[in-house]
Chains A and B, each alone.
Chain A
Amino acid sequence: MPLKPFYNEMYEPDGSVRPQYAGFAQWLRDTPPERIAQERHAADLLFHRVGITFAVYGETSGTERLIPFDIVPHVLPGDQWDRLAAGLRQRVTALNRFLHDVYHDQEILAAGVVPREQVEGNSQFRPEMVGVKVPGGVYAHIAGVDLVRDADGEHYVLEDNLRTPSGVSYMLENRKMMMRLFPELFARQTIRPVDHYPDLLLETLREVNPRDVADPVIVLLTPGHFNSAYFEHAFLAQQMGIELVEGQDLFVQDETVFMRTTQGPRRVDVIYRRIDDDFLDPLAFRPDSMLGVPGLLSAYKAGRVALANAIGTGVADDKSLYPYVPEIIRFYLGEEPILRNVPTYLLRKPDDLAYVLANLEELVVKEAQGSGGYGMLVGPRSTREEREKFRQRIVDAPERFIAQPTLSLSVVPTFAGDSLGDRHVDLRPYVLSGRETRFVPGGLTRVAMRAGSLVVNSSQGGGVKDTWVVN
């Protein structure tokens, strides 16, 4: 029951094919359906064999599952992408400036642009980081910014993921799979490459090396093989040629981080960590954490090791800070934001709360600090009973929630069985910040595999597609 018509990425409203899809549409017409069916089957087998799976929390049996992969790409024209890229660069640059500011001079709080309690009262604000000089002044080295396209054809930022955004391995594997199954598609048009992402990431990590050495030791810190994103951790470490370490592999002595190797302790300069702040250092944060490294914070504060991302970035990607991002961009850069924000209601504000409670069936309500699509209410798709249940949760703790109008996410044709149906997608480009900003064109396209569903998270049964930027 759509409220508004959707933007179809492949077709114009009159049914003709959009120019960026011309090459693919032609190929689709020319290729026998049997071959497509056969290659789709091959893709499933290959993904299984390579072991590209992810663990699902809360499922007891078969905790490793394959993410569904769809062969119809999400195609963006080059000029649209270039504009998005400029907007991403602007937005992430401003957020990095913001993070540096809130942990140092707090000019933006003094100017009253962002309420002080919004920052300092946030559980993601880390007082330990106040005054700490981080290498290069960069906080969010890797950002995954979720974009959606509304019915008006414009892209909106849904959220900024500045902590440990995941999914980039799927972006790389999806492209590899498409090139392997349908090489002819890449011969007939110029699709901008993405496979140099690990090189860009490694360059970014090298740039924030705090020690003046030509060949810094860089490691990827994973919570271990029970983590849902372990495949990605192993994959990225292998692609970059760096060690994949667990907390137990590292130790801190004299404010210096070492890893235990068969040739003795080896000093570590840069840690690409895929562990949340809370678990990084049991001496500084959660004392029950078995995943972290005791003393890591002290080494970090002493400037003897770089962490990517920095500790305390969560204060800038919190859903309750999100509404302030356009102002943050204006404040630090003196520029108008290129990317649009979705209008957002903060339920801790009485006016917003009243409006949201009166219009629950039209809004999406989320926990300000939730992630993974758990615990959200999609108003237009909810039952009266679900709304009443959620209403009670909101009234109990309004400050924990935000609300936004229901966006009508754009659709891309997607195989369901042997026929194509329209499915909603979003797009997560990855923005790398070192001494300069880098990205590969496109990003990870996530698709809701169920007809009508707006939830694209892999933990909720979402699938993935290759993303093309064509000239």
Chain B
Amino acid sequence: MLSRVASSLYWMSRYIERMENTARVLDVTWRMSLLVKEPRLQDQEWFAPLNITGTLFPFSGRHTTVCAKEVLHFLALDPDNPSSILSCARQARENARAIRGSITSEMWEVVNATWLELQRIDETAMNSGGISAFFDHVKERSHLFRGVTFGTLRRDEAYHFTRLGTHIERADSTARILDVKYHVLLPSVRDVGGAVDYYQWSAVLRSVSAFEAYRQVYRDAITPLRIAELLVLREDVPRSLHFCMRQVNETLEVVRNDRSGETLRQAGQLLAQLRYGRISDIFATGLHEYLTDYLDAMQALSGEIQRSFFSPTLPD
């Protein structure tokens, strides 16, 4: 398969996944912001989505205050923010358009319609049915894309690179969402373990659709340690780091070539850490520090994938 085509497939699904995950991050932030708190902490949680998506710097270049209205617009509908939901939908669509011949018409129609719909939505429309309804809609479009891909695309390289994009992006995003708690301060130290803390952690769980999974696995109170275990180490939770890295490794095994040795090694190393890691060790290092290292490793892996599959050159 042409590298350009593989690259477009990979980025098409990465952008769809990123669009969904931005909606998830905004949704969890919105839920947290509904809690009553002291005036001095008003709006402080809206720094979190900017930190998670790495857009605090461009945001502060154009806005003077961090508040719900501004951040929501910036990350959902701002066409000038390349990380906004709208921009992700556009970039997914541009990638799909360049390779229409390599995807099914159903896939094209989903990606194209998603972009066309989002283009027509303004702030009034976004808020009219409740902001969560908007996020639900974005998530549904992403679910639809994956379902249509699963149900219509031949299981050849096109399918594998599409799946690779989904899981690389998700492996990155779940780590960022989990780290959200690091960026959201509790009103005071004595609130640790209190109602606000509980509510924030359960919002994290819900944002990655893992609330029911938590209940089934632990049948017990929500604690940060277990949540981290569920989302980092559990192999059977579809948005956990372990699950995503296993998918990434399986896909890389199928598409491997004579230049992908280092890519497979890095992916394998990440998987081994998740497979044999212990949550107590992770907390001993500090969850935030662990996730930061992990995100750096993901970044390196992403670059290796780029090098070994999308920009081949002859050996010197």
Contact = CB atoms under 8 A, between A and B. Distances in A.
Interface of A: 49, 51, 224-225, 234, 237-238, 243-246, 248-249, 251, 253, 258-265
B311 to A, nearest CB: 7
Contact of B98 (A51, A225, A251): A225
Contacts, number: 52
B314 A253 contact: yes
Interface stretch (B71-79, B237-245, B251-259): B251-259
B4 interface: yes
Chain B contact surface mostly? helix
Contacts of B127: none
A260 B314 CA distance: 10
A245 B157 CA distance: 17
B3 A261 contact: yes
30 contacts: A51-B100, A225-B97, A225-B98, A234-B100, A237-B101, A243-B2, A245-B2, A248-B4, A249-B2, A249-B4, A260-B2, A260-B3, A260-B4, A260-B312, A261-B1, A261-B3, A261-B312, A262-B2, A262-B3, A262-B161, A262-B257, A262-B309, A262-B310, A262-B312, A263-B257, A263-B258, A264-B257, A264-B259, A264-B312, A265-B312
Interface in B274-316: 309-314
Given A245-B2, A262-B157, A264-B312, 7 more contacts: A248-B4, A259-B2, A261-B3, A262-B1, A262-B309, A264-B257, A264-B259
B2 A264 contact: no
Nearest to A235: B101
A260 B101 contact: no
A162 to B, nearest CB: 27
Interface of B: 1-4, 6, 97-98, 100-101, 105, 157, 161, 255, 257-259, 309-314
Contacts of A262: 1-3, 6, 157, 161, 255, 257, 309-310, 312
Nearest to B4: A249
A265 B309 CA distance: 10
Contacts of B310: 262
A32 to B, nearest CB: 33
B162 to A, nearest CB: 13
Contacts of A261: 1-3, 312
B4 A246 contact: yes
A49 B105 CA distance: 9
Contacts of A246: 4
Nearest to A246: B4
A261 B101 CA distance: 16
A264 B157 contact: no
A249 B5 CA distance: 9
Given A245-B2, A264-B257, A258 B101 contact: no
A265 B255 CA distance: 15
A251 B2 CA distance: 13
Contacts of B157: 262
B311 A260 contact: yes
A258 B314 contact: yes
B264 to A, nearest CB: 14
B62 to A, nearest CB: 29
A237 B99 CA distance: 13
Considering the complex of A and B, which 6 residue pairs feature the smallest CB-CB distances, nearest first? A260-B3, A234-B101, A262-B6, A263-B257, A262-B309, A264-B312
Best-surrounded residue of B161, B258, B311, B313 (most CB of chain A within 10 A):
B313
Contacts of B1: 261-263
A265 B259 CA distance: 11
A259 B105 CA distance: 26
Nearest to B7: A262
A354 B6 CA distance: 60
Contacts of B255: 262
A251 B100 CA distance: 23
A49 to B, nearest CB: 8
Best-surrounded residue of B100, B157, B312 (most CB of chain A within 10 A):
B312
